[in-house]
Amino acid sequence: MNTLERFLNYVKISTTSNSNSQTAPSTSCQKVLAKYLVNELKSIGVNDVFYDNEHCYVYALLKANVEAMPIGFISHLDTSPDALGENIKPIITNNYDGKDIKLNNDITLQTKVYPDLKNHIGKTLITSDGTTLLGADDKAGITEIMNMLEYFCQTNENHGDIYVCFSPDEEIGNSVKYFDLSKFNTSYAYTVDGSFVGEISYENFNAATAEIIIDGVSSHCGYAKGIMVNSLDLAHEIHSCIPNETPSNTEGYEGFYHLENQNGTVTKTTMSYLIRDFDKDNFEKRKNMIQEIVDRLNQKYNNCIHLKITDSYYNMKEKIKNDMHIVEIAKNSTKNVNVEPVITIARGGTDGAELSYKGILCPNLGTGGHNFHSIYEYIALEDMEKASEILIEIVKSYAKEKGKIKSKNK
């Protein structure tokens, strides 16, 4: 199956996740794609396939034909709930001319807003029709992993054990929650979930969430002096104490505080902050600062503020930095297909961050996609093909580590 056909088959299956759901997976539509992939894996010659029907994980193993270090690849089934993901109607623009692309009568993909478009002149661009996202995040990653597996199933190229997992609910932070490590027997893997082709990320934020509940005291407004404690006023006071280091004011290695949600009345207000920093010491300082603000205001307001800080994930660099061969192999494999590798930092989290702390070192690789989570998402067919070649080169590199030939599918 060619890359375009494979990708379009995936994006036409709606897989939007739902952060408000209490089920795992959060949406049943993800199971449709999972079952489709199970059948496709078997059809291309991967016989060792397991589907976790309860939690919607697809595991596969293409067994080695040489003695080599096993390697794994991971992509996610779901698409972001930030934009509509149903009834996706892809638009194919052949031999892109570098001009704006009209998606529909109201929506245009403009080069002045997205100047990277001009880096794709002459390529085949795939977009949505402007009413939905495209779904390249992360169906491009799935496509590229399937291309790689099909290549090794159809050739006699040497390869070690290749483990694959397609996971649910990555976009809502739950993709590793039910990940079965026993079905992914390798110490090294890559998430294929990044942006431009050639991108390699092995640094991400340390992340925590601060949940604040403020208990106020209500009374008649005309007789409230000395009685009323307006929890909304306290929320404003808390927020005024936090430095203006927000996502809109920071970049690169700069961390931030982000007031993600606030809801309240006079008697009760809840606030939720995201805390992010690459540096572990600064990360701890940020958490301590919020704790100190709450402690200080509790002395003033009779302990009516309740704070719970929960760590979410950590910077995978702390695990990978002592075993950098996995990054070097990715860099060299990228160069081998005439793409310049670019090391970036992930101003967010990845499955690889959590897995790196579970014993599987797991940098992130670019898929070729752009403008994820939006109706302006696009990807070039040629970039997906290059990303597939990079995965193939990575497998070949690991196969060279040991050269004793074994029978196919031992």
State the Cα–Cα distance between residues 26 and 320, nearest whole angstrom.
31
Active site residue 78: yes
Q: Please give the single-letter amino acid code of residue 76.
A: H
Q: Please give the single-letter amino acid code of residue 102.
A: K
> How do the residues of the chain divide into helix, strand and coil, expressed in percent and rounded to 5?
35, 25, 40
All residues at 6 or more sequence positions from 252 whose CB lies less than 8 Å from its CB, including other chains: 345
Instruction: Name the one residue in this structure whose structure tokens are 């890559």.
Output: 190
DSSP assignment of 304-320: -EEEEEEEEE--THHHH
CA dihedral 179, 347, 4, 395 (to 10 degrees): -60
Active site residue 393: no
Catalytic residue among 40, 137, 144, 170: 170
What are the start-end ranges of the H helices in 221-361? 231-241, 280-300, 317-320, 325-336, 351-356
Both structure tokens of 390? 């990079």
Residues designated catalytic: 78, 170
